[in-house]
Amino acid sequence: MVEQRTTLRQLCLQYTNLAVDDISELEEMAAKLQFIAELTGTDIFIDALSKNGVDAIVLAWAYAKGNRSLYRSSVVGEMAYAASEPAVYQTFSTGKIARNIRGVSQEGVPIAQTVTPLFNTAGDMIGVLIMEKDISAEVYQEEQVEFLSRTAEHLSRSLMALTMTGWGWEEWLGNGIFVLNHKGEITYANKHAARLSGQLGGEEVLGKSFIAALPFTSLHDLAEGLKNPINFEFDDACYVVQAHPLIAGGELSGCVVSLQDVTELRQKERQLDMQSAIIQEINHRVKNTLQNVVSLLRLQMNRSKLEPVQQEFTACINRILSIARVHEVFAYQPWDCIDLQELAEYVLAKVVESQRLPAQTVNTQVLGQHIIISAAQAVPVGLVLNELVTNALKHGIKLAAYGEINVIIEQQQQEVRLTVSNDGCKPQQSPELIKNNKLGLYIVRLLICEQLGGVFDLRRENGATIAQVSFPLSSKEEEV
pLDDT 10s digits, 289-314: 888 888 888 888 888 888 888 778 87
Kindly state whether residue 288 falls inside one of the protein's structural domains. Answer: no
State the residue range of the domain holding 75.
1-138
pLDDT value of position 410: 95
Which pLDDT does position 212 carry in this prediction?
76
- Which of 237, 262, 287 is at the close of a domain? 262
Same domain, 64 and 190: no
The CATH number linked to 358 is 3.30.565.10
- Positions of the chain with pLDDT under 70: 1-6, 106, 143-174, 198-203, 235, 248-249, 272-273, 275-279, 283, 329-336, 424-438, 475-480
Measured between alpha carbons, how far is 184 from 37 in angstroms, rounded to an integer? 56
Q: What is the pLDDT of residues 62-77, one digit of tens each?
A: 988 877 788 888 889 9
> Is 227 found in the same domain as 124?
no
pLDDT on residue 65 = 83
Does 87 lie in the same domain as 41?
yes
Do 174 and 134 lie in a common domain?
no
372 and 460 share one domain:
yes
CA count, 13 A, side-chain hemisphere, 217: 0
Q: Give the whole-angstrom CA distance, residue 88 versus residue 104.
A: 12
**Per the domain annotation, does 306 fall within a domain?**
no
Residue 438 confidence (pLDDT): 67
User: Does 191 fall in a domain?
Assistant: yes
Which CATH number does the domain housing residue 250 bear? 3.30.450.20
163 secondary structure, DSSP code:
G
In a domain, 163, yes or no: no
Q: Are residues 18 and 118 in the same domain?
A: yes
C-alpha to C-alpha distance for 378 and 382, rounded to whole angstroms: 6
Q: Is pTM beyond 0.85 here?
A: no
- The pLDDT assigned to 334 comes to 61
Task: Establish if 403 belongs to a structural domain.
Answer: yes
Contact call for residues 446 and 377 (beta carbons, < 8 A)? no
98 and 204 both lie in a single domain: no
Amino acid 263: pLDDT = 74
| pLDDT for position 480 | 41
The domain total for the chain is: 3
Residue 364, pLDDT score: 92
Which of 247, 262, 277 is the last residue in one of the domains? 262
Residue 414 lies in a domain: yes
Longest CA span, the chain: 136
Q: What is the pLDDT of residue 113?
A: 86
Cβ-proximal residues to 70 (8 Å cutoff; 6+ apart), any chain:
43, 63, 105, 107, 109, 111, 132, 133, 134
DSSP strand E in 295-414: where?
Answer: 337-339, 361-368, 372-374, 402-412
Examine the domain organization and report whether 241 and 355 are in the same domain. Answer: no
Per-residue pLDDT at 146: 61
Last residue of a domain, one of 207, 235, 262: 262
- In this structure, is residue 304 part of a structural domain? no
